[in-house]
Amino acid sequence: SLILLPVIIFIFIPIGMQCKHLHTSISFDFMLPSNAQSLTTYKTLGDTFGKGAISPYRLIVSGNDAGEKVDTRESFEVMQNVIKALEQPVETSLLVQANFTGIAWANNQAISFTTFEMAQECAALWTCPMESLREL
């Protein structure tokens, strides 16, 4: 067993040295062997239609780092400006269709902060003056 221990250590040193080069990711690419036909097809579809068509992007707006809330009038303005900027056509963009949904945007249109406030009040009540607000 004293001879076996140095042999095991000798074998695992190169493996351990390579571990520092490993990176973690949630990317689909790393879940398949590099020569898999399904990975080649996945990359071809991504190159043809854009990566967002296969795995839609999610943009999360958070005020945590700044100690701010996202349910304020100012935050609504920022979120809506970001969405409007993302909707602008760009020559090099592969963006085919964008569907933005959140507290400040739904059904391809901006939600006013006043409407958001009314929807919050409506959610707290059993009856609602405008039943369509319950869907927001």
Q: Is the pLDDT of residue 90 over 70?
A: no
- 136 pLDDT higher than 60: no
Q: What is the DSSP string of 35-80?
A: T-HHHHHHHHHHHHH-HHHHS--------TTTT--SSSHHHHHHHH
Q: Read off the pLDDT band of 95 (50, 70, 90).
A: low
pLDDT tens digit string along 30-53?
Answer: 778 888 898 899 889 888 887 777
**DSSP assignment string, 1-23:** -TTHHHHHHHHHHHHHHHHTT--
pLDDT score, position 94 = 56
pLDDT of residue 47: 87
Mean pLDDT of the chain: 80
Distance in Å from the first CA to the final CA of the chain = 69
Which pLDDT belongs to residue 29?
Answer: 77
**Where does the pLDDT of residue 113 fall: very low under 50, low under 70, confident under 90, or very high at 90 and above?**
very high
